[in-house]
Structure 1
Amino acid sequence: MPHHGEDPRTRSDRPWADPARPVEERVAALLDAMTLPELVGQLHQPANVDLERDAALLAAGAIGSTLHASGATAGNVRDGGVSRDRVDDLQRAAIESSRLGIPLLIARDVIHGHRTVAPIPLGQAATFDEQVVHDVAARAALEASADGLTWTFAPMLDVVDDPRWGRVAESFGESPLLTARLGAAAVRGFQASGLVTACAKHYVGYGLSRGGRDYATAEVGEITLRNRHLVPFRAAVDAGVGTVMAAFCDVDGVPMHSHHHLLREVLKGEWGFDGVVVADWNGIGELVEHGVAADLRDAARLAIEAGVDVDMVSGAYAAHLAALVEGGEVDLELVRDAARRVLRLKVRLGLLDPDCASLPGRGDLAGSHGLGLDRALAREAAARSFVVLRNDGMLPLRPRPTDTVLLTGAYTRERASLLGTWVLDGDPEQVSAVAPAVVRALGELAELAELTAGAGDAGGADADGDAVGVVAEPTVRRVLVDDGAFADRTLRLARDADLTVAFVGEHAARSGEDGSTSDVGLPPGQLEVLRGIAALGSRLVVVVLTGRPLALGEVLDLADAVVLAWHPGTEAGEALADVLVRGVPATGRLPMSLPRSVGHLPITHAERPSGRPLPDEARGRGRYIDAPSSAGVPFGAGASALAYGSLTAASGEVTRDGEAVVTLEVTNRSDREVREPVLLFLRDEVAEVTRPVRELVDVQVVTVPAGASVPVTFRVPAHAFGYHGRDHAFRVDPGRVVLTVGWPRADASAVVLDVV
């Protein structure tokens, strides 16, 4: 046992601590030095390891990693936060008290920001921009690593088409291609510094939870898995993701934590993934509840054989794995392989290097607090995530000097919920609230130096004596701020207003893990108030803040303008003020279709054709007697400043190992530079299996100066036209494909190509 204060990693007899040696050589040397209990220890991940309570386990090398979490559904339950000094104390104990001095992996759910909080991932997906997602992840990792964290459980790569499921907030939406590209960008961002590893979750099929119910079964065949749900995970593996998390669900009756085929044969075998597969919270223990394991000992055997390397919190491996090996029920090499993967990750992160920045004495104890917030990044990401669903000339707001403007709704002054789900370390007090920011922006229209009412938090009273914000002349006659707590008061204020801006939507607690809902409309009471405001005849702008796509059909009919703002993060207020008042273009597109009703779910743009094609809905026909079958607002929709020219192809043919080149010209019709996504869709008309009627196949994000026209060129490899067939092998068929740009725009253009 080393003396207190001695760093075992600096001893000359420890070849695994030499950064000059190859990674695999270092890992092999360490494996050869480890006992069976120490090997098993690397696979044990308890939550919130305590220096005193767990001192003996740390000294025995019986803990390989820990996660800081407030519980099994930490997304909407805040804890005391993470600090660099606590993490350093933990690492110091693991290093100095144990025989081999192996540091821990310190994990935490850093999903869409750490201290600086960006929009929820679904909001980031609305930008369709890999650079935005990369930069947000890189900033989150920088702040997390400053606190000594080395592992984040993001990005979530479940392809989703049912917004009843609360975890759609953590997703990149319904398109496999978009999820794959943004997921890979997030992986590269999180891992850019080399100090933090990302985790692709939840492998696989979790987004198919039946009825949108969390943890439910996934009914899916392997062809659909390979053509849709496995696509983003393969992209993450190709991007170098360090870890993959097994899903809670079963797939066609086999729980993922015991799915030998998908974990060991596909992920680790076919794809060659050499990283770590981690269980989800108590996922191994829950094999008993699934009914495939008799007890925790049996669950440990099933999981290690299937390919789960790290046991998160169930304790199954710590309690039973060594005995299973000694009894001949589990092959020692399975345990060594799992430990090898954990140690390989630690070497790659530099944790076995004496000068690693993540280890005690190498970081500022101020941690991420010392970095401050990157408000500019959060503000830009938020503004670019907003989707304008309707704008009848109302935006940007230009109230007349005689107008009274009412800002109403629970989100006028709310701060914490603007951060969205799965925010553990963001400070609500640092959030830019909506009403003060919008009032301030309205004041800027008349170049006012100050607002008379403290940026709209108070400063006047309505007829009932309740506080309202009031802005000095001559911007508008007054701006009233109402929190919407009393619908009758709201309607009284709206009666006297010339323009009402209503900030409605879901609280963050309604989304995220264990946040499923059977209704996808606005929460109770909100639609009734909007109806009342609209009936008064004043102009109405509705801003919807939410963690999921909602059925907003009636809202679109009631309002003059509707903005879908997701949960925007730290700079929510300023970003909304930029778009609503300052004229910053909102160029977001829907990454998930908005349903007409809950009865239309699940729904996706990539529906496959049936033997009886959908009738012409323009004539009021569809699969339902009482409603059209299509989405209320389709995937890819959103206001645009660009006019599209015709799509043309460089050649009418493309070889199966070649590249299709198609081009169009876009023209910026606005007086401001815009950065917008241009979407390309595919229809493969004849294939071995049914292919989507329309499927996103490429995205180009273009910057166009005001009034200018620029060419947009898509270079699409014929590989993108391929799919997995009846034998599950990937294939590219000869035949005709149709490429469409701009759908669902009225000016969409298409070309037909022959694949030869």
Structure 2
Amino acid sequence: MTRSGITRRQLLVATGAATLLSQVPMGFALGRTPIKAPAFIEDLIGKMTLEEKAGQLTLFAAAMQNGAAAAANPVTATSAVTAQIAAAKAGQLTGVFNSSNVLYHERLQKAAMRSRLKIPMLFAADVIHGFTTVFPVPLGESASFEPDLAQRTARAAAMEASAVGIDWTFAPMVDIARDARWGRGVEGAGEDVLLGRRMAQARVRGFQGDKGLDDPEAVVACPKHFCAYGAAEGGLDYNTTDVSERVLRQTYFPPFQAGFDAGAMTTMASFNEISGIPATANKWLLDDVLRGEWDFSGVVVSDYTGDEELIAHGFARDGRDATRLAILAGVDMSMQSGLYLKHLPDLVKSGEVPMAVIDRSVRRVLQLKAQLGLFDDPFRRIKPQAPSRQRLPETLELAREAARKSVVLLKNDDDILPLRSSGQRIALIGPVAQDWDSTKGPWTLFNGDDSGSDLAQGMKSAMADASLLRVVAGSGYATALAGGIQAAVEAARASDVVVMAIGESRDDSGEAHSHTSITIPKVQLDLLDAVAATGKPVVVVLSNGRALALDTVVPKTKAILVAWFLGSSSGAGLADVLFGKTGPSGRLPVSFPREPGQVPYYYDHKITGRPDPKPEALTAFKTHYTTIPNSALFPFGHGLTYGRPEYGALDIGDGKLQAAGTLEVRATVHNRGDRAAEEVVQLYVHDRAASITRPIQELKDFRKVAIAAGGSAEVRFTLRREDLLFIGQDLKPTVEPGVFDLWVAPSAEVDGLHATFELPA
């Protein structure tokens, strides 16, 4: 790939408006002023041996981890406790990750303070969606369409993690993920670029706080995986990615830039290759773009043994060659392989790697430690005697709020929901009913005891008479239980309504959990069939970490709730929604396809030269499969409430967006129901003709508004010229005059309120 930097003059020429320079949105950010390293760092670098420099660029898994943390990554050789402490004392270890033991952190830091140069250690962890308090998985939390919520949960997670000495989290994951087969989509914000940008920014700000990185309750964020990991072919983890530079710049770069613009000072190179060059050795990606165009002055760390995997890629001859390629490409720190410690000194002595390259990376690492306040106080976050900040009542209440705001109501025929809290006999059936462990979701390495948070407990607590609830597993996630279906049918027949808690276990999502099928396992579908055959109304509560194909589920249900993996307060949060204490307000951050064979499917796809004018009719020789239209069963942004939102008048003024002006969009939304509702009002735009074909729709803004029963709300959006930027033929941001379609709607693929506006030449 060629370098395609953007200068201020080029942006002016491309847009024709000087006002854009102060308003360039996230995703097309201009460079920032690099942070200058303190003078003492240069003095330290001058005193360091080659071995000490290599040590500052070497990160290992902690020798002391709990079982969940140890199982989160492949089994590799990890030093014993005594060996790690010795390495810290010798100044040959920059830090460790995934220990939650503050006493071990203290031992290591004391050892580092006995080293020759007394350079403090750095402690990192995979704090993905909570620490001891577990919040909804990031994909689920993104369904809230509330960046402020994501910022608050990240702040709470940082407060808990920093309390045991953790300085650095390997989060947020900001990969755009459009293939539901990919298990790691559960860690991100879904398929949309705008939502991905806003969530990335919010989570970075939450982790790092607003008092500076030297605040004892701040942890430095690490947007990952750079870059395009979510575009892995076939949704297969670690697989090849092959996308154009335009797609990188339009789709996959913007959430990273949003995270960096929010202050993130680290990033992680992805496992995948891009156009034949693995990211861990991709100089164009890590140096030309990240450092050159974006002026990123922070630390790039490899993913777990990512540098060593250059050998298996067929890109490096051996470990020594892999080390050379990674450091020269711009990977500052090696995670877990030990290759930098082993090979960097000799590579410098042989002249294959300039000392200046090593010093540059060491400078970045030491600068990060200085920003975290570790040189001022190496024990800043290591306070074994301090009062506990784990699982405080307010943090658990935040987890409950996040849980209920993450739930998405897909259908609600005959207003079967909310359930009545008294006088209604309810059967709770399915493998998720009492599985509190699974509701935590993947990447929960440090959590406490949430055994009281299962759905059964949450429903019992919400009911006036808990004896009216009958709980039956019916089946396992993928295996039948002896007599399970019979017991489930009996419970259903004795009840007024059935809640089916079915779906995926937490082990079905996350790293190394790609699926060829995105359907509910057959054994659970058989259970659903048997229960539905009783004629009792069925409410399905889905446990899932990805979009699912629900074509066989929808006809057998009255209502469907997407519950994701909701964390520490899962049961209580779900019960709040099921019984109407709060209404459902979540919206899908990923499109749910009609059938599994549609994936990868995402709403903002291209129109093609043969769009289907009547999707429901499946016109011949048009873009659709032979049996289904090219649309989602439940599109991005979809979600119902217990109210009755109705979209009314739309006002866009004169319908012209001038060069230096704005287009004010006003829409009225009524609630015709007898219950209050929270509606996520979404603004979509389509460019009818451009020098690069444009998506059928693009989300440009959204507002979450509360509307009282029988009430109305006016929602206002401000559309600016820079909101219409796209990557042009010269691979630079541009805006072109023309006619645009505009929709204010409750979801993608729904017309809602439609108008057109003009961008004059």
For residues 98 and 558 of structure 1, the distance between their equivalents in structure 2, rounded to whole angstroms, comes to 67
Aligned pairs (5 A) from 1:519-598? 519-598=517-596
d(CA) in 2 for partners of 1:585 and 1:747? 24
Number of the residue aligned with 1:53: 83
Question: Secondary structure in 1 aligned to 2:353?
Answer: coil
Partners of 1:746 and 1:37 in 2: CA distance: 61
After superposition, give the CA deviation of every residue in 1:222-276 in whole Å (9 maximum; x if it has no partner): 0011111111111111111111111100111110001110110001110111111
CA–CA separation in structure 2 for the residues paired with 1:346 and 1:685: 50
Secondary structure of the corresponding residue to residue 509 of structure 1? helix
Q: Which amino acid aligns with 1:245?
A: M
- Are 2:719 and 1:698 aligned? no
Tell whether 2:738 aligns with 1:708. Answer: no
> Are 1:115 and 1:426, in contact at CA under 8 Å, matched by a contact in 2?
yes
Offset, 1:372:
5.8
Is 2:226 the partner of 1:236? no
Q: Secondary structure at the match of 2:362?
A: helix
SS at match of 2:667: strand
Quote the Cα distance in structure 1 between the aligned partners of 2:674 and 2:582: 11
Aligned with 1:115: secondary structure? coil
For 1:190, the equivalent position in structure 2 comes to 207
Asked whether the equivalents of residues 121 and 378 of structure 2 are also in contact (C-alpha less than 8 Å), the reply is no
Partner of 1:208: 231
Equivalent of 2:447 in 411, 419, 426:
426
1:652 aligns with 2:655: yes
Paired residues of 2:109 and 2:378 also in contact (CA < 8 A): no
Per the alignment, in what secondary structure is the counterpart of residue 282 of structure 1?
coil
Q: Which amino acid aligns with 1:594?
A: F
Q: For the residues of structure 1 that align with 2:649 and 2:50, how far apart are their CA atoms?
A: 66
Corresponding residue for residue 17 of structure 1 = none
1:413 aligned residue (434, 439, 445): 434
Q: Which amino acid aligns with 2:95?
A: S
- Residue 138 of structure 1: how far off its partner (Å): 0.4
Q: Among 127, 131, 139, which residue is 2:148 paired with? A: 131
**Matched residue SS, 1:273:** coil
CA deviations on 1:583-609 (whole Å, 9 max, x unpaired) are: 411111110001122210100001012
SS in structure 2 of the partner of residue 736 of structure 1? strand
**Distance in 2 between residues matched to 1:520 and 1:505, nearest whole Å:** 10
Q: Identify the match of residue 756 of structure 2 among 734, 747, 752.
A: 752
Post-superposition CA distance 1:152-189 (Å, at most 9, x none)? 11111111111111111101000011001101100000
1:319 corresponds to 2:336: no
The C-alpha deviation readout for 1:395-424, integer Å capped at 9, x for no partner, is: 1112783x5321111111111110001000
Q: 1:610 & 1:560 partners in 2: Cα distance?
A: 36
Q: 1:257 to 1:746 in 2, by over 3 A?
A: closer
* 3-state SS of 1:203 partner: coil
Q: Which residue of 2 aligns with 1:92?
A: 110
Over 3 Å counting, the alpha-carbon distance change for 1:671 and 1:728 in structure 2 is same
Task: Give, in whole Å, the separation in 2 of the partners of 1:305 and 1:656.
Answer: 43
| Contact persistence 2:131–2:161 (CA under 8 A) | yes
Closer/same/farther in 2, CA of residues 244 and 657 from structure 1, 3 Å limit: farther
Partner of 1:262: 285
Check conservation: 1:115, 1:373, Cα contact below 8 A: no
In the alignment of these two chains, the number of paired residues is 689
TM-score w.r.t. length of structure 2: 0.87
Post-superposition offset of 1:657: 4.3
Identity rate of aligned residues, in percent?
39
Structure 2: which amino acid aligns with 1:426?
Answer: N
Cα distance in 2 between the residues matched to 1:676 and 1:149:
38
Q: Does the aligned pair in 1 maintain the 2:624–2:630 contact within 8 Å?
A: yes
Residue 242 to residue 672, structure 1, CA distance change in 2 (3 Å): farther
Q: 1:364 to 1:370 in 2, by over 3 A?
A: farther
DSSP 3-state at the match of 2:82: coil
Please list every run of 5 or more consecutive structure 2 residues that lacks an aligned counterpart in the other structure: 1-34, 64-79, 476-483
Structure 1 residue 573: Cα displacement: 0.6
Output the amino acid matched with 2:428. Answer: L
Tell whether the 8 Å contact from 1:23 to 1:348 is kept in structure 2 after alignment. Answer: no
Cα deviation for residue 620 of structure 1 reads 3.5
Distance 1:61 1:367, change over 3 A: farther
Q: SS at 1:702's partner residue? A: strand
Stretch of structure 1 that moved more, 240-249 or 737-746 = 737-746
Q: 2-side partners of 1:372 and 1:94: how far apart? A: 36
What is the 5 A alignment of 1:597-636?
597-621=595-619, 623-636=624-637
Tell me how far apart the structure 2 counterparts of residues 668 and 26 of structure 1 sit (CA, whole Å): 62
- Alignment-derived partner of residue 16 in structure 2: none
Compared CA separation, residues 626 and 530, structure 1 to 2 (3 A): same
SS of 1:554's equivalent?
A: coil
Matched residue, 2:32: none
Q: Tell me, yes or no, if the aligned pair for 2:668 and 2:715 is still in contact at 8 Å.
A: yes
Shift of 1:672: 5.2
Aligned amino acid, residue 163 of structure 1: A
CA contact (8 A) 2:88 2:121 kept: no
Determine the structure 1 residue equivalent to 2:418: 396
| Distance in 2 between residues matched to 1:681 and 1:363, nearest whole Å | 51
Report the Cα distance in structure 2 between the residues aligned to 1:425 and 1:269, rounded to whole angstroms: 38
Query: Of 75, 89, 93, which aligns to 1:63?
Result: 93
Partner of 2:17: none
Tell me how far 1:530 sits from its aligned partner. Answer: 1.0
Secondary structure (helix, strand or coil) at the match of 2:223 reads strand
Q: CA deviation at 1:370?
A: 7.5
Q: Among residues 446, 456, 473, which one is paired with 1:483 in the alignment? A: 473
* Amino acid corresponding to residue 561 of structure 2 in structure 1: V
2-side partners of 1:746 and 1:54: how far apart? 58
Distance 1:656 1:224, change over 3 A: farther
Q: Deviations over 1:367-406 (max 9, x none)?
A: 54475661210111110111100101111112783x5321
Task: Find the counterpart in structure 1 of residue 726 from structure 2.
Answer: 723
The answer as to whether partners of 1:723 and 1:730 remain within 8 angstroms in 2 is yes
- What residue in structure 2 maps to residue 376 of structure 1? 397
**Amino acid in the other structure paired with 2:455:** V
Change (3 A) 1:574 1:331: same
SS in 1 for 2:87: helix
Q: How many Å separate the matches in 1 of 2:179 and 2:154?
A: 25
Q: CA deviation at 1:323?
A: 1.1
CA 1:540–1:284 in 2, change beyond 3 Å: closer, same or farther?
same
How far the C-alpha of 1:105 sits from its partner, in A, is 1.3
RMSD: 2.0
The Cα of 1:280 is off from its aligned counterpart by: 0.3
Q: Which residue of 2 aligns with 1:305?
A: 328
User: Is 2:134 aligned against 1:108?
Assistant: no
